[in-house]
Amino acid sequence: MKTNAFMLISMCMGVLSIITSPLFFVSLPLAGLSILFAILSKGKALRMDIMAKVGVITSSLGIVCCVLLTGVMAMLILFSPDYRSRLNETSQMMYGQTFDEMMEMQYGVSLEEIAAKASDMFHMQ
């Protein structure tokens, strides 16, 4: 088996995308680059080597973890009153404003309105 730099980079970036999956703005680009390097490592060969396949698998796993974690966090923020109150308390201590106030000031809509719309949308299905 011939190892080239693209295979090694693909594997490393795939593993890093799993590790950084809570940070979607880091994890998703790493996973995308990992897949790109895995494809580039193939060159003119018909098949990918095992290291390149591992890079694709780990980056795919990083994408799945990232999407799941982001979805779970959004659901907690919107629908869990206990989590939301702790988030507001922490935000108040750190920034002098609650998370709800910052979101409403930034986007012009309250989280209660977003939660109500999301709840209606989930109940329609």
Give the span between the Cα atoms of 58 and 98, in whole angstroms.
37
Does 107 lie in the same domain as 69? no
Cα(61)–Cα(56) distance, rounded to whole angstroms? Answer: 9
Q: Report the predicted TM-score, pTM, of the whole model to 2 decimal places.
A: 0.77
CB 62 within 8 A of CB 56: no
Are residues 18 and 50 both part of a single domain?
Answer: yes
Number of domain units in the chain: 2
Q: Can you list the positions of beta strands (E) in 3-98? A: none
- Please state, as a whole number, how many other Cβ atoms lie within 10 Å of the Cβ of residue 50: 12
Q: Among the three residues 54, 74, 94, which one is the final residue of a domain in this structure?
A: 74
Q: What domain range is 8 assigned to?
A: 1-74
**Side-chain half-sphere CA neighbours of 74 within 13 A:** 11
pLDDT by residue for the chain (125 residues), tens digit each?
Answer: 566 889 999 999 999 999 999 998 999 999 999 999 999 988 887 888 899 999 999 999 999 999 999 999 988 888 888 998 999 999 999 999 999 899 899 988 888 888 888 888 877 54
Q: What is the spatial distance between Cα 116 and Cα 125, in angstroms, rounded to a whole number?
A: 15
Closest CA to 88 of 74, 105, 103: 103
